[in-house]
Structure 1
Amino acid sequence: MGTTAAEQLLALTPERRPEIPETLNGTLRLDAYENGWTQHWYLTVTDQHVEVSRSADDADLVVRAHRTVFDRMAAGQLRAAAAMLRNDLTVEGDMRLFVVFRRIFPGKAGARHPREAARQVAAEPNSGRDVRR
């Protein structure tokens, strides 16, 4: 399956993350359950920085799912919003922090932001041609 959610969270560094809104601060707890036990991950978001630790402390937003759901998100096979709509993932608390959660895990392999794709097409020779496939 590739990267697990635990590996993805452990790899997060406390560097600045410009994709997180500047005014968004708070705490998230990710509860990954499996076989009668729960693994807790605690994320603190401050000034576009995310710090990760292991704790079951109260948080502004709590996201609960089976470990395989988190692993599928970490592998880019499942989007957080889709998992929530299918009730594979439950969310309780300050939904503004869901933005941070969604941006922690990558999208599908090879996926690009639409602006990035448009810039690439514009930079190519003959960029006026029809590039639909």
Structure 2
Amino acid sequence: MGTTAAQYLQQFDAGRRANLAETTAGTLRLDIRGDGCTDHWYLTVADQHVQINRSADDADLVVRADRTIFDQMANGEMHLATALLRNELVVQGDLRLLTLLRRIFPGPAGARHPRELGRAALEGRAAVDDRGVRP
């Protein structure tokens, strides 16, 4: 296995995140269970910035799961929605903030945004002439 969730969160760049909506703000607490204890990570999101620290303070959204689930999410091996549908994540609070978590953790290796695929398809069509033949 690659990076653990703890390593990923410790190394997280607190700089501007263009993939986060400018108007979205809130706090999230990740409760990562494993080895008989629970690690708490507190994320504050505002103005497209994410600050992460270790705290068990109350948050707008609390997400609980086993360490293996968070580790898989940190490596892009598990999508947040998949974990939710499998009942491997427990969430409590403002569910609108769940999309932030999906954007904070990486996607699968080699994944491309749907807009990129659409642009590539349009470029492929543009390369076809009037007779339907590619030059």
TM-score, normalised on structure 2? Answer: 0.87
Paired with 1:56 and 1:96, the residues of 2 have a C-alpha distance of 21
2:77 counterpart of 1:55: no
Deviations 1:2-31 (A, max 9, x none): 121112111212211121111111100000
2:7 counterpart of 1:4: no
TM-score, normalised on structure 1? Answer: 0.88
* Number of residue pairs the alignment of both structures matches: 129
Alignment-mate amino acid for residue 29 of structure 2 = R
Listed as ranges, the matches of 1:18-57 within 5 Å are 18-57=18-57
Paired with 1:79 and 1:53, the residues of 2 have a C-alpha distance of 23
Go from structure 1 to structure 2 and tell me whether the alpha carbon gap of 1:127 and 1:70 turns closer, same or farther (over 3 Å shift).
Answer: farther
Paired with 1:8 and 1:88, the residues of 2 have a C-alpha distance of 20
2:133 counterpart of 1:109: no
Pairwise CA distance, 1:121: 4.7
Deviations 1:30-82 (A, max 9, x none): 00001210011000011111000000011000000000000011111110011
Listed as ranges, the matches of 1:78-89 within 5 Å are 78-89=78-89
Structure 2 unpaired stretches of 5+: none
Paired with 2:112 and 2:127, the residues of 1 have a C-alpha distance of 18
Listed as ranges, the matches of 1:62-81 within 5 Å are 62-81=62-81
Larger Rg: 2
Paired with 2:83 and 2:127, the residues of 1 have a C-alpha distance of 37
Secondary structure at the aligned position of 2:65 is classed as strand
The answer to whether the 8 Å contact 1:73/1:79 transfers is yes
The runs of 4+ residues in structure 1 deviating greater than 6 Å are none
Q: CA RMSD in A?
A: 1.8
Paired with 2:73 and 2:30, the residues of 1 have a C-alpha distance of 13
Alignment-mate amino acid for residue 51 of structure 1 = Q
Paired with 2:127 and 2:74, the residues of 1 have a C-alpha distance of 34
Alignment-mate amino acid for residue 46 of structure 2 = T
**Counterpart for residue 15 of structure 1:** 15
Matched-pair identity in %: 57
Secondary structure at the aligned position of 1:39 is classed as strand
